[in-house]
Structure 1
Amino acid sequence: MLTDPVATAGLVVREVRTGSRDGATTRLVVARRRYRTDRADLWQAVTDPERIPRWFLPVTGDLHEGGRYLLQGNAGGVVQRCTPPESFTVTWEMGPMVSWLSVSLAEADGGTDLELVHEAPVDPQLWDTYGPGAVGVGWDLGLMGLGLHVDSGAPVDPEEGLAFATTPEGRAFVGASAAGWADAATADGDAPDAARSAAERTTAFYTGAAPAQ
C-alpha cells in the first residue's frame, strides 16, 4: 500500500490547540496536508457522496447546509456551513458525544492545501490515556487514503484499508503519526513524558499490539 509509510505520515503537519465552547474547555486537533491536484478536484473528492467512499466511508443523507449526514458505521451530524469550493463545517456526533469538524481548501504551489480541524470537549481521562492521537491518527489514516485516491484516481480497497494498521507498513505509519501528535500536544503544553506514553497507548490501540510496559 505504501512504499515509505513514515515519509507518508510526515506529509501531515500537526497542531494541537486549547479552546473553549459555551464555557467548556475544548482541544482542537489540526491536520494539514498538500495534495497534488487542483482545488476543484479535491473539493469533489471530499464532498461528493459518490466519491467519498472511494477513500473513506459510504455516506448517506443531505450534504447541504442544514442537512444531516451519516457515515456508515461511524459518525453522523449536521452540515452547519458549506462554501464551495473553499470549506465546510459539520457536527461530528457519535452517540451522546458531539464535536465539530471543519475542512478548508486553499490553492498552493503544486496542488491544494487541505486543513482539517476537529474540536471536542475535553474528557480528561481519555486525553490522559490516548492524547490527541486517539482522533488524530484516525484522521491521518483518512488523509492517507485520500492521497492514494487522488494520486491514482482509483478507489482504495476497503478490506485492505481496514487491515492496514496491522501490517508492518501500517504499524510504522501509525507509530510515526502518534509520535507526531505527541509532539503537537507537547507544544500545546502537555508534559512530554505523558504525551509520549499516550502515543504508545494510541499506537497499541490502532495496531492491536500490546502497549509498552
Structure 2
Amino acid sequence: MIDIEKQIAATEREVRGDGETVSVVLRRTYDAAIEDVWNAFTDPDRLRRWFMPVSGEFRVGGRFQVEGNAGGDILRCEPPKLLRVTYGHETSLVEGRLTEAGEATALELDHTVPIAMAGSVAGAMYVGPGWDGAVMGLSRYLSGIETDDPAAVANSPEVIEFSSHSILVWEIAVRAAGIATEDEIVAAVAAAKSQFTPRES
C-alpha cells in the first residue's frame, strides 16, 4: 500500500528555465548509507528491482540501455556521489548527485533538455511525474519493498493515482517558475495526464 500523500511530500520539486534549456530538479533524502544508495542507483541487478531492467556499464565512456525506454552514454561516474548521463538524446542530460546527510543520503536528480525539445518550460511536465515515480520506487526499494516487474507496478491503479497527484504538484512547480504561458501549462498538463494517468484521461 502506497501512502500517496507521504510519498508526494517526501520529494522537493523545482523547474528551471534560462531561455535555452529547461530542467526538472527533484530532491529527496533516503534513510540509507550513501554507498547503498549509489549501488542501488548503478547496479543493473538492483536497478531492475525498483526502476527497470538496465543493461550496460556504469563507467565513464560506457553506454546503458533501459529496457523499452531510453539509453545513453555515461559522461561522468564518480562513486558514490555523482552520475551524469545522456538520456535518449545527446542533449538530454540527467545528473544524480548524492551527499551524506548524517546516516541518511540526500539525492538531487536533475534532468535538463533544450527548450526546443521540451517545447516550453511547461515541457517539464513530460518528465517530472516519471522521475517522481522513480524516486518513490527507490525509496520503497531501500525500505525493503522490491518487485520482479517494475513496469507492472508503474501501471497499477495505485501508482496511476500517485501520478495524478504528481502532475498536480509539478503544475505548481511549473507555475512557480513563472516563465510558461497559461496555454503552455494547460497543454502540458493534458499531455502529462494522457501519458501518466491514461485510465483517468
Tell me if both proteins adopt one fold, taking TM over 0.5 as the criterion: yes
Tell me the equivalent position of 1:137. 129
From 169, 185, 196, the counterpart of 1:195: 185
From 71, 89, 92, the counterpart of 2:87: 92
From 146, 162, 179, the counterpart of 2:138: 146
Tell me the equivalent position of 1:184. 173
Residue 56 of structure 1 and its aligned partner are, at CA, apart by 0.7
Tell me the equivalent position of 1:14. 13
Residue 194 of structure 1 and its aligned partner are, at CA, apart by 5.0
TM-score relative to the length of structure 1: 0.83
**Equivalences, count:** 200
From 43, 47, 51, the counterpart of 1:48: 43
Tell me the equivalent position of 1:5. 4
How far apart, in 1, do the equivalents of 2:161 and 2:126 lie? 16
Secondary structure (helix, strand or coil) at the match of 1:116 reads strand
How far apart, in 2, do the equivalents of 1:19 and 1:149 lie? 35
Distance 1:171 1:131, change over 3 A: same
Distance 1:73 1:157, change over 3 A: closer
Kept in 2: contact 1:174–1:207 (CA 8 A) = yes
How far apart, in 1, do the equivalents of 2:175 and 2:101 lie? 29
Provide the identity percentage. Answer: 35
Tell me the equivalent position of 2:153. 161
Tell me whether 38-47 or 153-162 shows the greater mean CA deviation: 153-162
Tell me the equivalent position of 2:108. 115
Tell me the equivalent position of 1:175. 164
Kept in 2: contact 1:149–1:156 (CA 8 A) = no
Tell me the equivalent position of 1:71. 66
Kept in 2: contact 1:16–1:188 (CA 8 A) = yes
Aligned partner letter, 1:147: S
TM-score relative to the length of structure 2: 0.88
Aligned partner letter, 1:137: P
Does residue 205 (structure 1) correspond to residue 198 (structure 2)? The answer is no
Residue 123 of structure 1 and its aligned partner are, at CA, apart by 3.5
Kept in 1: contact 2:161–2:197 (CA 8 A) = no
**Runs of at least 4 residues off by over 6 Å:** none
Aligned partner letter, 1:15: E
Distance 1:171 1:161, change over 3 A: closer
How far apart, in 2, do the equivalents of 1:188 and 1:104 lie? 22
Question: RMSD across aligned C-alpha pairs, in angstroms?
Answer: 2.4
